[in-house]
Amino acid sequence: MRIKEQKFLLPDGREVTIKSAGPEDAMKVKLHREAVSVETHFMAREPEDGPFNLERIKEILGNIAESDRDFMVSAYIGDELIGDLGVTLMRPHVKYLHRAYLGMSIRLMYTGIGLGSFMMKTALEQAKANGFEQVELGVFSDNDRARHMYKKMGFKEYGMNPRAFKLKDGTYRDEIIMANIFETGGNA
């Protein structure tokens, strides 16, 4: 599905368009994800893993655009994609239909100015509207800025996957498992 387009103002006055990336944006998504993987070790991929597959990205974005529950929250300045957030059904099995997985990335120069919180708020509201009861994510244990923002947005830490990521320098990072469980009035 595609979300309703919104605007976000940067501190310098520039306008960011928040909308869903679709298959027509596959090259922008590819370039964004490759750029972010160079800027930080907090992404699952390293530049050495090779370029993202453009046709696969186009297929995934097409499937999300056609979905009645999965969606993208993408941030653009003009034609440039600067933030990428996806919410997808965990698994298409009856026992999992209440759960969504969230992944996000923002270009480093646009972090720490409220854009991530705005994108996350948009995503959580849409996830609730789409019938999800909880949204889950994994975050690097040393990504303090992201962990702080996730907690501010209602996520709680529920577990840890030790040594989930091995960096190029041979050191490891744990993955912190977080979830935002929406109040449904049902049994916990």
Gap between the Cα atoms of 56 and 110, Å rounded: 27
- Tens digit of pLDDT for each residue in 5-30? 999 999 999 999 999 999 999 999 99
| Residues of the chain where predicted confidence (pLDDT) is lower than 50 | 186-188
Residues 6+ apart with CB under 8 A from 92: none
Domains of the chain with CATH codes: 6-181 (3.40.630.30)
Q: Which of 167, 148, 135, 160 is nearest to 44 (CA)?
A: 167
Gap between the Cα atoms of 183 and 163, Å rounded: 32
CA 132 to chain centre: 16
- Tens digit of pLDDT for each residue in 80-89? 999 999 999 9
Amino acid at 110: Y
